[in-house]
Structures are given as structure tokens and as C-alpha cells.
């Protein structure tokens, strides 16, 4: 089980990312049209982007296990970490997933 403080920090980052998503996306679109902008206009847009909170960047989000909060070995399809997924498959709690046997 992950520490509660780390899970809360991740939730805070998700909220910040949702809050500043539109501002960040529009600024990125403006920068991508670099040929029509002068260097000073581009610089102003970059300053605006850098003034946003650091934790509002989507790259800082980390996927966590739905049950345990584990940050590593997560499967996107299920939202679970590897060992929890394996336990659920062995307990026949995931339909369509089969155990490996050879």
C-alpha cells in the first residue's frame, strides 16, 4: 500500500492538470505556429507557459494502481498493478483473463 501523502499529492497534480489544460494547450498551439510569429511574441508565450504551476504539466502525472496506489507495473487496460492483477486472475475475478499454465 502506498503512502497516503503520495496518493494525495498525485490527486492534487491531477486537479491542477485539469485546471490549466486549456491554457497550456492553447499556448502550445500558438508556439507551433512559429513561422508567423516574431521571436518576441514567441518569447512572451513561453514566459506565460513557464509561469504556470510546475505540477500542472501532464508529464508529471503518474499512473497508480486503483486498489493499492502502487506507482509501478501498472496495466492501463485494468488500472491495476501486476501483482494485484495476477491475484485477481487466479481468483477468477477478471472475466476473459486466463491463467498461464504449461
- pLDDT per residue over 11-52, tens digit each? 999 999 999 999 999 998 888 876 666 778 888 888 999 999
In the chain, domain spans? 1-62, 63-102
pLDDT of residue 3 exceeding 90:
no
pLDDT at 40: 80
The confidence band for 99, taking pLDDT boundaries of 50, 70 and 90, is: confident
Q: Tell me the per-residue pLDDT of 54-85, one tens digit each, with 9 for 90 and over.
A: 999 999 988 889 888 888 899 998 899 999 99
pLDDT at 95: 85
Q: At what angle do helices 21-32 and 39-51 cross, to 10 degrees?
A: 160
Q: Measured in whole angstroms, how far is the alpha carbon of residue 58 from the centre of its chain?
A: 6
CATH of domain 63-102: 4.10.830.10
Amino acid at each position: 500500500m502506498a503512502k497516503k501523502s503520495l496518493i494525495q499529492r498525485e490527486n492534487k497534480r491531477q486537479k491542477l492538470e485539469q485546471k490549466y489544460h486549456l491554457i497550456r494547450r492553447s499556448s502550445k498551439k500558438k508556439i507551433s505556429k512559429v513561422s508567423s510569429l516574431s521571436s518576441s511574441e514567441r518569447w512572451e508565450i513561453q514566459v506565460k507557459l513557464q509561469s504556470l504551476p510546475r505540477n500542472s504539466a501532464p508529464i508529471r502525472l503518474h499512473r497508480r494502481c486503483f486498489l493499492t496506489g502502487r506507482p509501478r507495473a501498472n496495466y492501463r487496460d485494468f488500472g491495476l498493478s501486476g501483482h494485484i492483477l495476477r491475484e485477481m486472475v487466479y481468483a477468477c475475478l477478471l472475466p476473459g483473463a486466463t491463467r498461464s499454465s504449461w
